[in-house]
Amino acid sequence: AQSVTQLGSHVSVSEGALVLLRCNYSSSVPPYLFWYVQYPNQGLQLLLKYTTGATLVKGINGFEAEFKKSETSFHLTKPSAHMSDAAEYFCAVPSGGSQGNLIFGKGTKLSVKP
């Protein structure tokens, strides 16, 4: 069964610093991979989506993610953090089963220090 692992439940960066949030998937190469963002007391918003064949995926708010098959990774990056980036970020992969749902990691809470 598919699963994703997010390393680091909490990441803290200074404003203007590089943001790196880690996600590794298990099993075979999935057809899709997703990053979602959740602001406090909000639902999940799609940040970006990987589809087969792409390696670097650009998303909203200046975020991008690189798919690396050799490392089974799909890490999320942003060159320069902004205070408004403070939120929780979830990596997700399709379950691949008949339920048709997404399987989510436990999330990484990003704090941005002024």
Question: Cβ contacts of residue 12 below 8 Å, gap of 6+?
Answer: 110, 111, 112, 113
Query: In this complex, which beta carbon is closest to other proteins, that of residue 38 or of residue 72?
Result: 38
Minimum distance from CB of 52 to other proteins (Å)?
Answer: 12
Query: In this complex, which beta carbon is closest to other proteins, that of residue 73 or of residue 108?
Result: 108
Three-class SS state of 83: helix
What are the beta bridge partners of residue 77?
Answer: 20, 64
8 Å CB contact between 54 and 106: no
Among 13, 76, 87, 102, the residue binding other proteins under the rule CB under 8 A is 102
By CB under 8 A, tell whether 27 contacts other proteins: no
End-to-end CA, the chain? 41
Minimum distance from CB of 69 to other proteins (Å)?
Answer: 19
Minimum distance from CB of 83 to other proteins (Å)?
Answer: 22
CA torsion, ordered 86, 88, 67, 14, to nearest 10 deg: 30
Residues 39-98 that bind other proteins (CB under 8 A): 41-46, 49, 90, 94-96
CA 94 distance to own-chain centroid: 14
Query: In this complex, which beta carbon is closest to other proteins, that of residue 9 or of residue 80?
Result: 9
Name the residues that contact other proteins, by CB under 8 A: 9, 31-32, 34, 36, 41-46, 49, 90, 94-96, 99-107
